Structure 1
Amino acid sequence: MKKEFNMSAINQDETAAFRAAFLANDKQRALQRAVWKNGIKASAENEAAVVENTPLFSLDLATGKVANQKKSGRCWMFAALNTVRHQMTTNFQLKDFELSQNYTYFWDKYEKANYFYDNIIATAQEPVTSRKVAFLLATPQQDGGQWDMVVSLFKKYGMVPKTAMPETASSENSSELNATLNQLLRKQAITLRHLVANQASADDIDQHRQAFLQDVYNVLAMSLGLPPEHFDFEFRDTEGNFVHEKAMTPQAFFEKYGRMDFDDYVSIINAPTADKPFMQTYTVDMLGNVVDGKPVKYLNLPMSELKELALKQLQAGESVWFGCDVGQSSIRDKGIMAANAYDLNALFDVDFDMTKAQRLAYGESMMTHAMVLTGADLVDQVPTKWKVENSWGDKVGADGFFVMSDAWMDQYTYQIVVRKDLLSTQQQAALATEPKVLGPWDPMGALANN
């Protein structure tokens, strides 16, 4: 028999006792003054975390200047373009070079609109209060994304240098564009659901979809500019040689200069929750951007194996795209991510500790940001801290680079992307299995968007 619990209202005697206990604690009264004046994080900051995480690394890849996504949620896109850029600058001896984030951003928004239409049509017979429909309408599209999503964009649209499609006001500060697109998509969803409810023909629905997509294209073209179909690519390499490529297409540029076979790269996650056994693959329902693109697929591994794979790729001279919860225990201005960055337990005399699995299961943490691993500090071949290339410009951290302690990586890193050939035979066999489908709201379906 299910046990019944009575609701418990707060009574005034309890509150009076809590107040008296607080006033009687001289330590808490002293700390109150510090928090009142400086705020919670500044009062709880642990100087030992700063001392222990100096920006020096025994393994340190040359990557160039840090990019700046500004006031947008394109971190996943910047991180992916940075991994390509790292190889390009080495292969072609480029200096201070960037790929166009705005070009990839345009096509992502365009494809996400179409992906939304497909999901709205597929769920049109469910009430708007159903969990799936409510999930879709809560955020029809956004800036965030996943590795497999950006791969789909590269394969379909190629890429261009930043000079061919520079940033605009809406790409650098995306809140107005996102609000405008989401308003438009919700309005269009009303019509699509109405058509399905009235048993409209597939041709009629598709005609409406095309008209809606034209509207989206127009908004994007006005806000972000028209993606180039052809462009000239000019550069002078580090040895002084001048190169001028005329009338290149984005696909030709990608094939010649990108030089990454994205089919060789796989997503490894660490999700130590009871519902996700290790050595099994997973995908997420309704997660994607390109309808016929690369499906999201993860292999879940213990953290020790995830870190081993990341280190192998760094030692091979190649940076590593990774996803984490950047806001947790992170000192932004100093560029330090350390598990002991703040001591909230001592400050408030309250136990805030949770395991990684508990944080995932109870909504305290999920992947929020994507960056690039570019180095590590090894002691007896064991990493103690990792060098991280962020995309927040060069005014934070050490010229834009962050230091991530190994303990922080254990707790708050959820995904890396590595070459498939680095996996063991056993891991590759697990990767080949059919993925289990997770719900759209599963924490491993979170999009990196900080």
Structure 2
Amino acid sequence: MKDISEKDIEKFAEGVDITRENKALKDAIIANGINGATLNNHAIVEMNYVFSEEIETGKVVNQKKSGRCWIFAALNTFRHRMSEKLNIKDFELSQNYMMFWDKLEKSNFFLESILKTLDEPLEGRLVSWLLTQPQQDGGQWDMLVSLVKKYGVVPKQVMPESYQSSDSPELNSILNAKLRDCAFVLRSMHQDGRTEHELEEDKLNMLGDIYKILVFLLGEPPKTFDFEYRNEKGKFHRETKLTPHTFFEKYVGLDLDDYISIINAPTKDKSLGKTFTVKYLGNVIDGRQLKYLNVDMPTLKSLAIQQIKDGETVWFGSDVARYSDRKVGILDPDLFDYESAFGIRFNLTKAERLDYKESSLTHAMVLTGVNLVDGEPNRWKVENSWGEDVGNKGYFVMSDKWMDEYAYQVVVHKKYLSKDLVEAYNQDPIELQPWDPMGSLALVK
């Protein structure tokens, strides 16, 4: 290994080559930050908040200091449907309710994973990976489907946000501390020769402790409730003694088995037209398996456009932190000109960014519109879940170029798939390692 010498540093300094022009830029960057100094006004002008195909979706919700974007995005697609059906405005489903059951199920999923790996070395990559983050806020579409099928959904008025649901770091810290404690106990019991039945009994007691923690921090989920609302015409409605399942069936009415995940992961190890899943990734044991169909970007975008044209919004996953600005609400690779500022190039392709950990799916949002020119998209309307103080009252505009580079997943009704794509989706999925980039979860706050 070779150290950096003083001579090397002198050569580096000579290479900076401060001219009158780039000194002004350097000073601007130091004073205003790289994004503030390199903001491309032309990109702002190009990203117009007008779309040829657009679905009215109302007021944007706010996940606050939590990583529940995937839950918010999915429930947004449900409430869009409900708002139109019931003629109600700015209605929300309970994100806290879904969070409660997700936390409990992820805790069980983690403990079952620990039981499954009792003979794996503690210092090995798999157990180390499991212990790094026993559970967290993030998730995927198929995980949401598993929760809805098992627990249904409820209106927000029935189980509103708690302090800790909107500000989750302390909740996650407490749960993960307890789960690592449980993992130690289970592995120690196994080393002491305790039976499988004894370990399962202890695991259930551990889940009782987790349930208690969740009740104290999030509240207790309702078993039955009354649903009351007044529509836009002022007419009052009440239905009593609903369960979370009957509410979903009557007021949302979606067959979630009809909706599937389409991804674009152009790495060499993931062939187009193949399906994939990820080991040790999920929440509900025996719930819906995570399954992705890998396609090229033109196909992915075409499927999303078809669903938007039919008046239905689209859950999608992307790497939201790249070339994005919360204030102006724009997602565009041309938004900041880093290369001109530094006089250097960033050369990685989309596939190489995935392979080299430079990018991954970090955030779920909703596509609510697209602007088509001669049938081709040039920008998309995006409903975020960061409240109304960002973007255009919470909405973002995304360039088609940004979608090509940083969007990885859409969830669409399978009726839009061609016969060939249906056959491809019906294949048994190839298993990916837990640390594969397609195993990343949407959780950006």
Tell me the TM-score normalized by structure 1: 0.97
**1:180 aligns with one of 168, 174, 177:** 174
Paired residue for 1:424? 418
CA distance in 2, matches of 1:193, 1:106: 27
Please name the residue that 1:58 is paired with: 52
Q: Which amino acid aligns with 1:344?
A: Y
Determine helix, strand or coil for the equivalent of 1:247.
strand
Within the alignment, does 1:213 sit opposite 2:207 as a pair?
A: yes
The 1:24–1:229 alpha-carbon spacing in structure 2 relative to 1, beyond 3 Å, is closer
**Does 1:279 pair with 2:273?**
yes
DSSP 3-state at the match of 2:157 = helix
Single out whichever of 89-98 and 305-314 deviates more from structure 2: 89-98
- Higher mean Cα deviation, 33-42 or 433-442? 33-42
For 1:278, give the aligned amino acid. Answer: L
Would you say 1:371 and 2:365 are equivalent positions? Answer: yes
C-alpha distance in structure 2 between counterparts of 1:125 and 1:43, whole Å: 54
CA distance in 2, matches of 1:207, 1:56: 58
User: What is the CA–CA distance in structure 2 between the aligned matches of 1:408 and 1:305, rounded to whole Å?
Assistant: 16
SS, match of residue 164 in structure 1 = coil
CA RMSD of aligned residues (A): 1.0
Among residues 100, 114, 117, which one is paired with 1:120 in the alignment? Answer: 114
Q: Does 1:42 align with 2:36?
A: yes
Q: Decide whether the 8 Å contact of 1:268 with 1:415 is kept in 2.
A: yes
- 1:325 correspondence with 2:319: yes
Q: For residues 77-131 of structure 1, what are the alpha-carbon distances to aligned partners after superposition, in whole Å with 9 as ceiling and x for unaligned?
A: 0000000111111111111100000000000000000000010111111111111
Report what 1:94 is aligned to: 88
Percent identity, aligned pairs only?
A: 51
- Is 1:404 the counterpart of 2:398? The answer is yes
Counterpart for residue 288 of structure 1: 282
Displacement after TM superposition at 1:24 (Å): 4.7
**More deviation, 193-202/54-63:** 193-202
Cross-structure match for 2:189: 195
Counting only pairs closer than 5 Å after superposition, residues 385-404 of structure 1 correspond to structure 2 as 385-404=379-398
The correspondence for 2:217, drawn from 209, 214, 223, is 223
Question: Structure 2, unaligned stretches of length 5 or more?
Answer: none
Provide the rounded CA distance (Å) in 1 between the counterparts of 2:265 and 2:427. 18
Provide the rounded CA distance (Å) in 2 between the counterparts of 1:180 and 1:149.
Answer: 22
* 1:82 counterpart residue number: 76
Whole-Å Cα distance in 1 between the matches of residues 287 and 3 of structure 2?
A: 52
CA positional deviation for 1:307: 0.2
Alpha-carbon contact 1:77-1:101 (below 8 Å) kept: yes
Q: From the superposition, tell whether residues 348 and 263 of structure 1 become closer, same or farther in structure 2 (CA, over 3 Å).
A: same
Find 2:102's aligned residue among 87, 100, 108: 108
Please identify, of 46-55 and 165-174, the stretch whose mean Cα deviation from structure 2 is larger. 46-55
Partner of 1:350: 344
Q: Does 1:252 align with 2:246?
A: yes
Structure 2 residue identity aligned to 1:357: A
Q: For the Cα contact (< 8 Å) 1:23–1:29, is it kept in 2?
A: no
2: CA distance, partners of 1:15 / 1:25: 19
How far apart are 1:29 and its partner, in Å? 2.5
Q: Aligned-pair distance for 1:23?
A: 5.2
1:4 counterpart residue number: none
Give the 3 Å change call, closer, same or farther, for CA 438–27 of structure 1 in structure 2.
same
What stretches of structure 1 of length at least 5 have no aligned partner? 1-6
Cα deviation for residue 353 of structure 1 reads: 3.0
The answer to whether the aligner puts 1:19 opposite 2:13 as a matched pair is yes
Shift of 1:19: 1.8
The amino acid of 1:132's aligned partner reads L
1:201: how far off? Answer: 1.5
Matched, 1:360 2:354: yes
Q: CA shift at 1:258, angstroms?
A: 1.6
**How many pairs does the alignment contain?**
444
Q: Give the secondary structure class of the aligned counterpart of 1:163.
A: coil
Whether contact under 8 Å (1:67, 1:391) holds in the other structure is: yes
Q: What is the TM-score when the length of structure 2 is the normalising length?
A: 0.98
